[in-house]
Amino acid sequence: MIYSMTGYASATREVVADGAGPNGAGGSGVGVSVELRTVNSRFLDLNFRMPEDVRATEPQLREMLMNKLSRGKVDIRINLNRVEQTANAGALNREALTQLATLERAVLDVFPDSERMRTGEILRWPGVLAESAVSQETLREAVLACGKQAIADLIEVRAREGAALGRVLIENVTEMEAIVARITPLVPELIAKHQQKIVERLHDALGIATSEGATATSVPREEIAERIRQEVTMYGIRIDIAEELQRLTAHLSETRHVLQKGGKVGKRLDFMMQELNREANTLGSKAAAKELADASMTLKLLIEQMREQVQNLE
């Protein structure tokens, strides 16, 4: 199985405040949520955004992620949503109210024309409404449980997307193998045809009679014939793409094997794309016929498509 580096997952949990009754009656609660977003990256890059209340969970979450992921930029966002219960709405913190009144008098002494606080503002002031606090240990356990669930969901998402990318890559490999299989039998015929053209051009250039009545040349015919054989041989070597086709076949076979084997294949496939592209470029530079040039162009387009997809694989 192969895995994509892109994905999203989240998990939530409601935590009842310590001392609350059944279903949270008589107290407050905290909604805990953990969100994971990942995109492709050369290395594993973890970025945390969380309230200070649960900052102590970062090392454990980091270890959990590093045990499951090897590459990708991962944004981890943890949110805490404190929810007051209606049964506790009338419980006031007298100490907090006294401190708030003292602060208000001090402000009015300096700014006597300032407006006094309204009831709604007083009730919204942090700490004025008494609440049964959720302990740090309870919050930590809830965050870690949500993190574990979100990571498991993220792995499933990355696996599904990786499987889809794998199918696309296998299709490209199959298409490229078909192109190589189609042009391989054409190579000897194309080389022979172009060698014959070279022979005819050299005959004309060197003044060898190719038909009755042609003008003789002062250069010995044996020397000219030997020169033609050398030029034709060198040209045949330059346009011979048998080795490039063999290497393309080998690289495609290895790419298929890597995809079918699965695992952490991103870096390996990225290397294979470089090798495939090198052979396709050489094939294009040696192309002595339109069929070979067209095949080289199609191969390079398919390799570029594969390279873009491979960048997303772990």
pLDDT at 111 over 90: no
pLDDT at 132 over 70: no
pLDDT 10s digits, 233-254 = 666 556 567 788 889 999 999 9
pLDDT band at 135 (very low <50, low <70, confident <90, very high): confident
pLDDT band at 22 (very low <50, low <70, confident <90, very high): very low
Give me the long-range contacts of 271-274 (CB less than 8 A, separation at least 24).
273/303, 273/306, 273/307, 273/310
Pick the CATH number of 7-88+130-161 from 3.30.70, 1.10.10, 3.30.230, 1.10.150: 3.30.230
Alpha helices in the chain (DSSP H): 58-68, 94-110, 119-124, 136-183, 186-206, 221-239, 242-261, 266-286, 290-310
pLDDT at 78 over 60: yes
pLDDT 10s digits, 211-223 = 444 444 455 666 6
CA 301 to chain centre: 20
pLDDT at 165 over 80: yes
Domain parsing of the chain, residue ranges: 7-88+130-161, 94-124, 162-310
CA 105 to chain centre: 59
Percentage of residues of the chain with pLDDT beyond 90 = 47
Same fold, 7-88+130-161 and 162-310: no
pLDDT at 245: 87
pLDDT band at 121 (very low <50, low <70, confident <90, very high): confident
Which residue type, as a one-letter code, is found at position 184? Answer: T
CATH, range 162-310: 1.20.140
User: pTM of this prediction?
Assistant: 0.68
pLDDT 10s digits, 273-283 = 999 999 998 88
For the chain, give the mean pLDDT.
82
pLDDT at 211: 44
Say if residues 4 and 265 touch (Cβ distance below 8 Å): no
**SS3 per residue for 81-124:** EEEECHHHCCCECHHHHHHHHHHHHHHHHHCCCCCCCCHHHHHH
Among 54-58, 149-153, 208-212, 276-280, the minimum mean pLDDT is found in 208-212
pLDDT at 239: 59
Tokens 């002031």 identify what position? 125
pLDDT band at 310 (very low <50, low <70, confident <90, very high): very high
